[in-house]
Structure 1
Amino acid sequence: MSIWVREKKFYTTFLWLTLIIGLQNLISLGVNLSDNVMLGGYSQTALSGAALANQIQFLLHMMVMGACEGLVILGARFWGGKKLEGLRKAAGVGMVLALGLSITLGAVVFVFPHEVLSLFTDDAAVIAEGAQYLVIICWSYVFFAVTNTILALLRSVETVRIGFLVSLSTLCINVLLNYALIYGNLGFPELGISGSAYATLTARVVECGIVIWYLVKYDRKTGMKLSGFFTIDKPMFRQYLAIGYPILLSNSIWGLAMAAQTAVLGHMGEAAIAANSIANTIFQLVTVIIYASASATAVCIGKTIGEGGPGKVKAYAKTLQMLYLLLGLLTGLLLFMIKDFVIEWYSISGEARSLALQFMTILSITVIGTAYQMPALTGIVRSGGDTKFVLYNDFIFMWLVVLPASALGAFVFELSPAAVFICLKSDQILKCFVAVVKVNRFRWIRAFES
């Protein structure tokens, strides 16, 4: 049996969703890149402070996306089965969960900014800069949650173009305000790292307004009213948790693990913090298609199961795995080729520059593993109904293998930052062996009442 599906509609749907979601992710990351580059040109300490504060934003991102992924999986099946009432009920549950998480985390970091940042580093200057950023940016968490829940609802019914337009508006606003407020241009005061935080907060408020306006005025697929986001259907809440809690828990564990990784490198000095921030920002920028492919997979697989096509699901899964590997090879090559060019954007020390180049070289290899295992597990396996497996897999690799080995390397054996970085990213290759077995046994195809 051929590994390549011959249905043109499969490729056009998957590639269209991947392209549009990828462009949306690219522009969204452009917001972070704008902060990263402009603060990197302002001062290395400001860059490091914002990098640590943004680890909290990343944790929020992972938790909110966990709630949203549950919505996409359920929503795509309801959409495939033409059961829109279930879709709307799922959206209400997703919104309440996302808002609850964002409000809780925002309150904690607003009240205890210095204490939270001290978990990542003991550098007082970096903590002071990061705290200025954090107490402002935490007000954007609620707007971020609302925006992404609505976008997840729309994505589950294959409406993805609005996400691209929203992200584009956010990028333009953020870049302009960063230019004005960080450096004091266009008649504005020079606010440094605080200016960057105000710029991002303003952009998040605007994008939230645009998404709500689109849903109310132009959405014709979901029939969702704003009041529906605050109505909890108890049977749907139980069903949502049954599908979504492993995703939410897995994403939260992953977000905490990324924060722990930053803490390991953070205690190796300011240069390591800055280098890690640069390398990971560029990595995220060039891997937008990989992460978009996982989101597109969730919609395609979920909808196909909702339509009642398990035979098609198996064929799609085989083809998708080959597409993932191709994307990984291309992404790794791109990252390796541009690393020397992008490092010139930053005004950093020689040590930080050298470490950033080493980190990007390592990532250009491990990204091949990321490109395969991440969409295979979070896209195929999760959307097929086996949402617990990724939770167990991530917990074992990250908390029982990667973090202990990295901590030993950094603090006991006193390895170089590059060697520790290799330990931190080793799971991206190791998980591939698990993914290839799990996906091709096809025991992840599970039904639930819809």
Structure 2
Amino acid sequence: MKARRSTELVEKKDFYKELFSLAIPIGMQNLLVALIGASDALMLGRLTQDAVSAVSLANQIAFIMSLFSGAVVGGGGALIAQYWGKGDWTMVKNLFCMLIKWAFGISFVFFALAMFAPELLMRIYTPDTALIKIGASYLRAVSLSYLFTGVTQCYYLIMKLEGKAPKSVLISVVTLITDVVLDFFLIYGFAGVPKLGANGSAYSTVVVELVALIWCIAESHRGESIRPDLQGFQWFSIDITKDLFKIALPMLGSSLAWGFGFSMHSLIMGHLGSDATAAASIASVAQELITCVCKGISVGAGIMVGKLLGQNLFDKAKEYGKKFCHISIWAGIIHMALLCILGPIVAEFFVLSETAKHYLVIMLVFSAFYVFAYSINTVIVCGIFPAGGDAGYDALSVFFASWCFALPLALLGTFVFHWPVIVVYILMCADEIVKIPWLYPRYKKYLWLNNLTREESSEMVNA
């Protein structure tokens, strides 16, 4: 009995040690990335309300791009984690190269759109000519950063698998500091630097994304790190590509359904006026800052469960899944408490009209319930399920919760019934809460307990 209890304590200690080694650095990195967005919003918010509103709408383009690249990197990450657990380092490197090619291709498309058709993109979100002018100029300036972002995410993925998550945090710390310093000079025009306003924020973004990519490439050439090479870029396998898209396409469907829905939030708020847009933008920044912990736990869950599945340790993977379910609930409670405490503090840092301040306070109160549900859904649906290939449920739940419930009501409330701004906002954000009752029954089916790796290396062919 004592030996069994001792073994359980050791396993529990190992579990939390591995989780913390992944979740804390990844959560910190997500927080630092969110802080970059928050610092931009804060400095622009001290400039004019139109500036923060226009940049918030313009950044929806980068957000949509991240949905495409995130689905590819996320799907590839599930496969790489399992091959990593299996010890197939050649396949890990080949998959890494495949992800870089896909991520760069996606980034290039969005770069071209933002560079050559920014006014058209802005008109999708707002009819306000002042916001369109500011946002279009910002998009053209920031578009170059899109070419770097997707590739950097591929490097971050490998660094996490290699146990170098703290290094990615260091990169994010340096880029955050660089971004804040550059924003200070470029937005406001101190020390003889021209005052560029919103465009100053765009130029600082280009610089920090380039710095992050160069640093990641340099880090991959240190020691025995996995790094891309010519053979990896030339490698191609139909079977492995099919495996990738079996996971990535449902994740993409889910990401697009959720992301376009989230982007529709900006469209709806944009048609409700500058006060509503500014308040919702700041509430979104607060949500991003608060939910960094659950995103770190979600990535950690995917990596830890994926490695076990790649080794056919199904019972242990099931045990880990149960632990992550419990952790997700506690994460939700912590996020709710943090938003209640920090939300009112965040509101004081922005120059807003009295109407916008009133909107913001009420939005932050409802956001506390939103982040609780979001935390649970993120850890289980975006962490545990895709680790074993069950990526389809997320797309299904998002479709029904967002597109069949929350968004239709919000659109009707905005354009037909002209409901108050706060009522429309609550309806928009109710989708995460609606998903909760259906989540646990899906988990108990254990459709995510799958080994996705292939045994036959002869199936791999070079291009």
Look up the equivalent residue of 2:431 and give its one-letter code.
Answer: D
- Taking the aligned partners of 1:97 and 1:245, their CA distance within structure 2 comes to 13
Matches within 5 A, 1:147-296: 147-218=152-223, 220-222=224-226, 224-227=227-230, 230-235=233-238, 236-296=240-300
Look up the equivalent residue of 1:25 and give its one-letter code.
Answer: N
- Taking the aligned partners of 1:434 and 1:209, their CA distance within structure 2 comes to 43
Aligned partners of 2:68 and 2:256 also within 8 Å: yes
Mark the runs of 5 or more structure 1 residues left unpaired by the alignment.
none
Matches within 5 A, 1:379-394: 379-394=383-398
Matches within 5 A, 1:103-118: 103-118=108-123
- The TM-score normalised by the length of structure 2 is 0.93
Aligned partners of 2:36 and 2:180 also within 8 Å: yes
Look up the equivalent residue of 2:314 and give its one-letter code.
Answer: P
1:437 to 434, 441, 455: 441
2:282 aligns to what SS in structure 1? Answer: helix
Aligned partners of 2:82 and 2:453 also within 8 Å: no
- What is the match of residue 67 of structure 1? 72
Mark the runs of 5 or more structure 2 residues left unpaired by the alignment.
1-7, 455-463
Aligned partners of 1:63 and 1:255 also within 8 Å: no
CA offset digits 1:73-125 (Å, max 9, x no partner): 11110110001111111112211111111111121122211111111111111
- Taking the aligned partners of 1:191 and 1:448, their CA distance within structure 2 comes to 50
Using the TM superposition, give the Cα deviation of residue 238 of structure 1 relative to its aligned residue in structure 2, in angstroms.
Answer: 2.5
Aligned partners of 1:121 and 1:267 also within 8 Å: yes
Aligned partners of 1:272 and 1:355 also within 8 Å: yes
1:90 matched to 2:92? The reply is no
1:217 aligns to what SS in structure 2? Answer: coil
- Taking the aligned partners of 1:232 and 1:145, their CA distance within structure 2 comes to 20
Aligned partners of 1:182 and 1:196 also within 8 Å: yes
Aligned partners of 1:71 and 1:153 also within 8 Å: no
1:101 matched to 2:106? The reply is yes
Aligned partners of 1:373 and 1:432 also within 8 Å: yes
Aligned partners of 2:287 and 2:367 also within 8 Å: yes
Aligned partners of 2:310 and 2:452 also within 8 Å: no
Using the TM superposition, give the Cα deviation of residue 232 of structure 1 relative to its aligned residue in structure 2, in angstroms.
Answer: 4.0
The 1:41–1:321 alpha-carbon spacing in structure 2 relative to 1, beyond 3 Å, is same
Aligned partners of 2:82 and 2:451 also within 8 Å: no
- What is the match of residue 62 of structure 2? 57
Look up the equivalent residue of 1:429 and give its one-letter code.
Answer: I
- What is the match of residue 11 of structure 1? 16
- The TM-score normalised by the length of structure 1 is 0.96
Using the TM superposition, give the Cα deviation of residue 380 of structure 1 relative to its aligned residue in structure 2, in angstroms.
Answer: 0.8
Aligned partners of 1:24 and 1:164 also within 8 Å: yes
- What is the match of residue 119 of structure 1? 124
Deviates more, 1:150-159 or 1:353-362: 150-159
- What is the match of residue 426 of structure 1? 430
- Taking the aligned partners of 2:212 and 2:234, their CA distance within structure 1 comes to 24
Look up the equivalent residue of 1:176 and give its one-letter code.
Answer: V
CA offset digits 1:153-175 (Å, max 9, x no partner): 22234331221011111101100
Aligned partners of 2:312 and 2:451 also within 8 Å: no
Matches within 5 A, 1:305-324: 305-324=309-328
The 1:86–1:177 alpha-carbon spacing in structure 2 relative to 1, beyond 3 Å, is same
Look up the equivalent residue of 1:233 and give its one-letter code.
Answer: F
- What is the match of residue 404 of structure 1? 408
1:43 to 48, 62, 65: 48
- Taking the aligned partners of 1:393 and 1:368, their CA distance within structure 2 comes to 17
- What is the match of residue 27 of structure 2? 22
Look up the equivalent residue of 1:66 and give its one-letter code.
Answer: A
- What is the match of residue 39 of structure 2? 34
- Taking the aligned partners of 1:94 and 1:395, their CA distance within structure 2 comes to 26
Look up the equivalent residue of 1:98 and give its one-letter code.
Answer: A
Look up the equivalent residue of 1:225 and give its one-letter code.
Answer: P
- Taking the aligned partners of 1:245 and 1:83, their CA distance within structure 2 comes to 24
- Taking the aligned partners of 2:231 and 2:197, their CA distance within structure 1 comes to 41
Aligned partners of 2:246 and 2:389 also within 8 Å: no
2:447 aligns to what SS in structure 1? Answer: coil
Deviates more, 1:227-236 or 1:238-247: 227-236
Aligned partners of 2:401 and 2:432 also within 8 Å: no
Aligned length: 446
- Taking the aligned partners of 2:163 and 2:59, their CA distance within structure 1 comes to 30
Aligned partners of 1:158 and 1:299 also within 8 Å: no
